[in-house]
Structure 1
Amino acid sequence: MTLNDAVLTRHTVKAFEPGNTLPQADIDTLLNVLQNSPSSVNSQPWHFVVASTDEGRAAIAQATTGAFIYNEPKVLNASHVIALCMKSDITEAHLQSVLAQEEKDGRFASADAKAGQDKSRRGYVDMHRYELRDVPQWMEKQVYLALGGLLLGAAMLGIDATPMEGFDQRALDLSLGLREKGLTSVVLVSLGVKSDKDFNAALPKSRLTREEIFTFI
């Protein structure tokens, strides 16, 4: 499948066929996409909870009740559901962990290069913490970068996907024990095989024209 094919054929699936399990090799590829997603100053302020069992999906489905009940089948009938989460804050421990991993992976040719990267990242964190005072929003933006890659990656593999903001974030945080880990949920993605009840599959894709959304200078 070409990239053009993927972006034109992908859609938000409205119903999954239960009982279908995606190949582990494809899931591993998508996890690789998430792990290697870009983020501002390589801050990586995220965590991903992957549910592939009945128990796991049921735990996530606890957040799709009440006003969000329409999304419950998309969780329970999927093969895998991924909760994309962000850290509640950029902590000193996280900054040290990222820096240590960069050093382990050979990112620094010298001690000065390591110090420079650390200073630059901390500069951005301090700017968002003290001047802009928007650290949560900044971290959330990084999670949505990962979401875009995940959806495109799924499309390239021919995997049906549904991104969902329609869930009770507090309920999910409590169900998965996220707050005790310094995390909070941002968005869900269900992955699986669409059913014949997926009405969105038959609808034409609709986007604004290039003339309306592009300016060439």
Structure 2
Amino acid sequence: MTVVDTLTKRYTAKAYDKSRTIPSDIVTQLLAALRYSPSSVNSQPWHFFVADTDAGKARIAKATSGVFAFNAPRVLNASHVVVLCARDNLNPDYLRSLADQEQADGRFANAEARTTAEKARAGFVGLHEQAGDVPTWTQKQTYIAQGFLLLSAGLLGVDATPMEGFDAATLAEELKLKEQGLIPAVIVALGYHSEDDFNAKLPKSRLQDQVVFTHLS
């Protein structure tokens, strides 16, 4: 199967078969897709909460009441649910932890190389701190991770539903996100669609190439 085959086959699931669970080896690959996602200056400004039990999914579903109630069954019936959160700051301690991990992974030839890399990353962070848009920047990076997760799910034959329809304040309180310096960005349900999923039967619709692409010369 080509990448195009996967892209045209995958879709946003609207209803899940609660009786079907994603095999553990596939879950491992999906989580790896999140962990290995690229980010600006390797900032990795995210944290992912994973729920694979009824109790865990119920905690997330608390944020899908009221106007967002349509998303509750997708959270409760999916095999796994991931809350993708962005860091609200990239403080010196966190930046140091990144450099420590890079050093442990052998990315620096010597101390000078580490110093150069740390200064470059701190410089980019400083630009966003001056602009006052660090949370916006980190959420943009987190959406890159979502893209990797959705594509990986499609390649592995797993259905997925990205959701911004939730009460951020409720979710932040339930998961104690503020205390951890985190902001909820998006929820992604993962599993296998049920026979009641109307969207599984509909053809995919996208704007034509000439509408979305301009080839420069």
What one-letter code is carried by the residue in structure 2 that aligns with 1:124? F
The whole-number CA distance in structure 1 between the counterparts of 2:13 and 2:104 is 40
Matches within 5 A, 1:191-210: 191-210=190-209
Q: What is the CA–CA distance in structure 1 between the aligned matches of 2:135 and 2:174, rounded to whole Å?
A: 21
2:87 aligns with: 87
Query: For 2:94 and 2:171, how far apart are their aligned partners in 1?
Result: 23
Give the number of aligned pairs.
Answer: 216
Partner in structure 1 of residue 9 of structure 2: 9
1:211 is matched with 210
Paired residues of 1:16 and 1:77 also in contact (CA < 8 A): yes
Please say if residues 2 and 156 of structure 1, whose CA atoms lie closer than 8 Å, have aligned partners that are also in contact.
no
Check the 8 A contact 1:12/1:161 in 2, yes or no: yes
Equivalent residue, structure 2, for 1:78: 78
Are 1:189 and 2:171 counterparts?
no
RMSD, aligned CA:
0.8
2:37 equivalent in structure 1: 37
Partners of 1:137 and 1:9 in 2: CA distance: 31
Q: Which residue of 1 aligns with 2:99?
A: 99
Which TM-score applies when normalising by structure 1? 0.98
Q: Identity over aligned residues, as a percent?
A: 51
User: Which shifted more, 173-182 or 95-104?
Assistant: 173-182
Determine the structure 2 residue equivalent to 1:69.
69
* CA-CA distance at 1:182 after TM superposition: 1.5
The residue identity in structure 2 corresponding to 1:139 is: T
Segments of 4+ moved more than 2 angstroms: none
* Structure 1 SS opposite 2:11: coil
Q: Which residue number in structure 1 is paired with residue 132 of structure 2?
A: 133
Gaps of 5+ in 2: none
Q: How far apart are the structure 2 equivalents of 1:74 and 1:51?
A: 13
Gaps of 5+ in 1: none
Deviations 1:27-51 (A, max 9, x none): 0001111100000000001000000
